[in-house]
Structure 1
Amino acid sequence: MLYPWYETVDSSNVIFQGDLIPECPIVKPPDNLELDTMPEVEIQRFNSIVVSQSCDLENDKIEIVLVCPYLTLSEYLSQLPENYQNADGRKNVKKALKQGHYPSNHLLNKDEQSGLSDFIVVDFRNVYGVSFDYLKKYVYKIPKRIRLLPPYREHLSQAFARFFMRVGLPSNIDI
């Protein structure tokens, strides 16, 4: 049995975990925030994927939606250090991504039918919060958006949880 990775939904659909939000505006506060002053904020746009739980989104249980940025695999590979820019280095990185060996990243399939001509690499290191009310208005202006489907959506959620539940110990056990 084939399980499609994505579906295309129109702007009237509710937001779900796994929805791809192109050029999602993210408010970034300044590095040096002084009290009693009006801060200047920067707005950056990232291709993002919703990681908040669908049940919370459907039932309006949250005010801030968590999103993670993503890159195409080509963009991701182009940002690798120079020692990975050869054929073997890129091959090893692709294999490690596919096998889930980079906890801070998650690889999603490409899908020509949905308009995804390249694989997607989700970045869990940079998680952003977007006002749910704003995000609803923003996606309403997007005629069609791509939604990750089960079981791949749950796999993304599990990878996100694994990244956040890591525990760094101060020392190893000496046996």
Structure 2
Amino acid sequence: MTQTLALIEEATKKSGLLWVQGPTGPSRALWHVWHDGAAHLVGGPGEQPLDGLGLTDGCTATVTVRSKDKGGRLVAWTAQVTELPPGDEAWTGAVAELKGKRLNAVDFGTLEERWARECRILRLEPTGSSEPLPDASLAAVPLRTPATTRRPMPAALPRLLRRGRGK
């Protein structure tokens, strides 16, 4: 069991994203920090969305950790979810770590106050059990959407590209 916890901790510390699946909804990629023996997440308005996952205080979630360099699954583990109350000592410590890793925050100076007012800080503590990794891919077909990034190439583009090669 100690080896399992060591693997979970080391893999989770090094990974930038966790795939978290709560009691409801599909798994979702969420950024996190490892602090005080657990993964901590922040979610709410202006942050990553936690709605639809069913992550409530006292529930369990399945956390899948990917390799930072290759992107493959390293370990999947079961977590006990705790919602940290604003102002609590555990909340303050977690927020200090999360704030240091929060990229591009517009309101960096008042981030803690906004998180206390509008967001949720969740602690995902390993229960000590790991899930077996699946043999097959868990890739899903993307949902149909009218959004697209592929459009026909403009007619003038090949001429513009050829013209730039001679310079």
So what's the TM-score if we normalise by structure 1? 0.28
**Higher Rg:** 2
Highest relative contact order (Cα 8 Å, sep 6+), 1 or 2? 1
